[in-house]
């Protein structure tokens, strides 16, 4: 069970309702982790934290709050100074989930341009609500998966845990995973080259990728990496980590930083384009 400082979260709450809702989420979190079951309640609600609005569904709230902590408290994907976005930059958010990375980007640089991609329709719906609730401008998004080619792909998701999903959700092994948790979706795919052509992209300042194991196949089939200045990639196995390093070093990128916690199978790698 991830350790969550609920008292600290409450200090970020903008109203009494959000404080009370955090108490409920804490109880749901304990229930799920204790019994390996999800609560059967799909009531929507919003938390107001630190001047921002975040949309939740009760049954997935425990997972959503963990995503909030990763991005807004642990500062995941922002741990290198050069990966703090600036106004007028272009950011690609691949595997945007509920839009938390994009929201954090906009907290730093309200006038940067973001193009975001998320295949899970449940997470994409949450993303659109979060973008609207926080009046985010200069933002475009698509309910698609970025893959090695244009087409369609079968993906596995767990509706109550938006942070995971992919071609095979049991890789890496998750001992708590039950077959009954898994749902299948058929998602439209775009190759990364298609994205560059469609949006007429000449330069990407930051490319963020979190695609649950599809990182290498996406980048291996991209012929526009010379237009990318920085990449921050969440890897999902040691094998993928080594493949990414080999691939991107061959494309003239250097590692700026690797962020991981001992014992975890995943982490973030920050890559920066070498100066000529």
pLDDT of residue 207: 98
Domain 81-273 has CATH 3.40.50.1480: no
Contact of 68 with 99, CB cutoff 8 Å: no
Cβ 83 vs Cβ 75: under 8 Å? no
| Phi–psi pair at 104, nearest 5 degrees | -65, -40
Mean pLDDT of the residues in the chain? 95
Beta carbons within 8 Å of 55's beta carbon, 6+ residues apart? 44, 45, 46, 98, 126, 129, 130, 133
What is the C-alpha separation between 241 and 50, in angstroms, rounded? 34
Q: Looking at the predicted structure, is the pLDDT value of residue 167 above 70?
A: yes
DSSP alpha helix (H) spans, 109-180? 121-133
pLDDT by residue (tens digit) across 42-51? 999 999 999 9
Q: Are 214 and 147 in contact (CB under 8 A)?
A: yes
**Preceding omega of 273 cis (within 30 degrees of 0):** no
Q: HSE, CB side, 13 Å, CA atoms: give it for residue 182.
A: 16
How many Cβ atoms sit within 10 Å of the Cβ of residue 88?
A: 11
- Three-state secondary-structure class, residue 93: strand
Residue-range domain boundaries for the chain: 1-74, 81-273
DSSP 8-state secondary structure symbol assigned to residue 185: E
Which residue, chain included where needed, has tokens 């079968």? 154
Q: Is the pLDDT of residue 176 over 90?
A: no
Phi, psi of 219 (to 5 degrees): -75, -30
Mind listing the pLDDT tens digit for each residue in 178-194?
A: 989 999 999 999 999 99
């Amino acid at each position: 069970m991830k350790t969550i400082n609920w008292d600290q979260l409450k200090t970020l709450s903008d109203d009494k309702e959000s404080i009370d809702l955090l108490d409920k989420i804490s109880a749901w979190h304990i229930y799920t982790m204790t019994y390996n079951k999800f609560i059967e309640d799909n009531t929507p609600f919003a938390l107001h934290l630190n001047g921002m609005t975040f949309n939740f569904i009760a049954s997935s709230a425990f997972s959503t709050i963990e995503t909030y902590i990763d991005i807004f408290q642990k500062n995941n994907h922002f741990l290198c100074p050069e990966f703090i976005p600036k106004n007028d930059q272009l950011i690609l958010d691949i595997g945007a989930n509920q839009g938390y990375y994009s929201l954090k980007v906009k907290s730093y640089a309200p006038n940067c341009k973001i193009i975001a991609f998320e295949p899970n329709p449940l997470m994409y719906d949450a993303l659109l609500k979060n973008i609207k609730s926080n009046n985010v401008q200069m933002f475009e998004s698509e309910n698609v998966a970025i893959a090695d080619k244009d087409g369609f792909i079968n993906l596995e998701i767990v509706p109550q845990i938006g942070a995971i999903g992919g071609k095979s959700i049991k890789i890496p092994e998750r001992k708590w995973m039950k077959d009954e948790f898994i749902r299948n979706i058929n998602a439209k795919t775009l190759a990364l080259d298609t994205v560059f052509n469609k949006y007429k992209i000449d330069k990407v300042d930051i490319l963020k990728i979190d695609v649950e194991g599809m990182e290498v196949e996406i980048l291996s089939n991209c012929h526009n990496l010379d237009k990318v200045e920085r990449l921050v990639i969440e890897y999902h196995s040691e094998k993928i980590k080594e493949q990414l390093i080999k691939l991107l070093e061959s494309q003239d990128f250097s590692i700026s930083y690797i962020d991981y916690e001992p014992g975890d199978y995943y982490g973030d790698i920050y890559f920066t384009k070498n100066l000529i």
